[in-house]
Amino acid sequence: MSELEKLATETRNQRTMALDDMDIMEVLQTMNDEDKNVPLAIEKALPQIKNVIEQIIQTFRKKGRLFYIGAGTSGRLGVLDAAECVPTFGTEPEMVQGLIAGGMKAMTVAVEGAEDSQELAKEDLSKALLSQDDIVVGIAASGRTPYVIGGLDYAKEVGATTASLACNKKAQISQHAQFPIEVEVGPEILTGSTRLKSGTAQKLVLNMLSTVSMIGIGKVYKNLMVDVRPTNEKLVERSKRIIMQATDCSYEQADQTFYRAEENVKLAIVMILTGADKNEAKEKLIAGNGFVRNTL
């Protein structure tokens, strides 16, 4: 038996040996039952996830950047999570970046051989000017992707913090990271198709990493996205609702203050809650390290 065949992500699911002979409802019920195991598997890894989040928060506080690196589905999920940080938390695109083996072309088309190259990851991170102030999170369902291993090793050479996310226990990439996360969800209903349970697990963990880290640097007040970027009409109206929800003010006051604050939701909230003008509110936020609660 090869090393690959020993991985839980590659073994055959005994519940679906006749997958092609099941009717649609049987397949759906089986998929649903298997997916229920994902959050339970993640629960076991919460202490590991916490360790990584603490490192990401430290990185952000010293103006460092978060890099997700991966190949195939794992890489795509990293790119997706990074992209969503910009509108949700008002971050600059450089603050959270997703690197995928084969480049952005690999988001939609498989780039043959890219994931097998350790050197390619080093090149990608080098182009991004990776520094010791940054953190690199390597993502691989199998836990053995060469591109990810190469990236983690290069990050270690540079002095950056390293973390990993795998869907197998005793994963190879865990040996190359200071802060490994291992979420073993078991065999897929379709053997080896790690875009299924493994992909779901990775998405849920990435949700945790980015969201909780952003909470940790003041980009949330109560449970509101106070650093949201109003880049379209829908988000402009959502911004005004957030101001209303955070301050219990009227729509008219939210609307007026939103524009007085130059469409900065967090600034508008502090202006209303403290009675400060725009410049005073800015000073309060600086003094409060960006946390609305610290201005009150």
Terminal-to-terminal C-alpha distance of the chain = 63
Helix (H/G/I), strand (E/B), else coil: 222: coil
Model-wide pTM > 0.85: yes
Q: Would you list the DSSP string of 45-68? A: THHHHHHHHHHHHHHHHTT--EEE
Question: Which among 54, 84, 263, 280 is annotated as catalytic?
Answer: 84
Q: Where are the beta strands (DSSP E) in 141-226?
A: 161-166, 179-182
Identify residue 194 by its one-letter amino acid code.
T
228 backbone dihedrals φ, ψ, rounded to 5°: -60, 145
What does the pLDDT read at residue 6? 74
Q: How many CA atoms lie within 13 A of 168 on its CB side?
A: 25
Q: Give the model's pLDDT for residue 9.
A: 87
94 is catalytic: no
Contact criterion met (CB below 8 Å) for 187 and 11: yes
pLDDT of residue 8: 85
Q: Is the distance from CB of 213 to CB of 57 less than 8 angstroms?
A: yes
Q: Report yes or no: 76 and 139 within 8 Å, Cβ to Cβ.
A: no
> What pLDDT sits at residue 174?
98
How far apart are alpha carbons 181 and 219 in whole angstroms? Answer: 25
Residue holding tokens 């849920």?
204
What number of residues does the chain have?
296
From the candidates 10, 34, 115, 182, give the one annotated as an active-site residue: 115
- Angle in degrees, 0-180, between the axes of helices 251-260 and 233-247, rounded to the nearest 10: 110
Q: Using 50 as the pLDDT threshold, list the residues of the chain that sit under it.
A: 1
Q: How many CB atoms lie within 10 A of CB 14?
A: 7
**Cβ-defined contacts of 25-29 (< 8 Å, 24+):** 27/189
Strand-pairing partners, residue 136, are 67, 162
Q: What is the pLDDT of residue 1?
A: 44
* pLDDT for position 84: 95
Closest CA to 247 of 234, 259, 236, 258: 258
User: How many angstroms separate the CA atoms of 62 and 161, rounded?
Assistant: 13
Residue 115: active-site member: yes
Q: Are 24 and 186 within 8 A, CB to CB?
A: no
Cα-Cα-Cα-Cα dihedral of 78, 79, 80, 85, to 10°? 90
pLDDT, tens only, 186-245: 999 999 899 999 999 999 999 999 999 999 999 999 999 999 999 899 999 999 999 999
Alpha helix ranges (H) inside 15-145: 24-35, 37-44, 46-61, 72-89, 118-127
Angle between helices 233-247 and 265-274 (to 10 degrees): 20
HSE of 170, CA atoms in CB hemisphere, 13 A: 5
The single-letter code of the amino acid at 93 is P
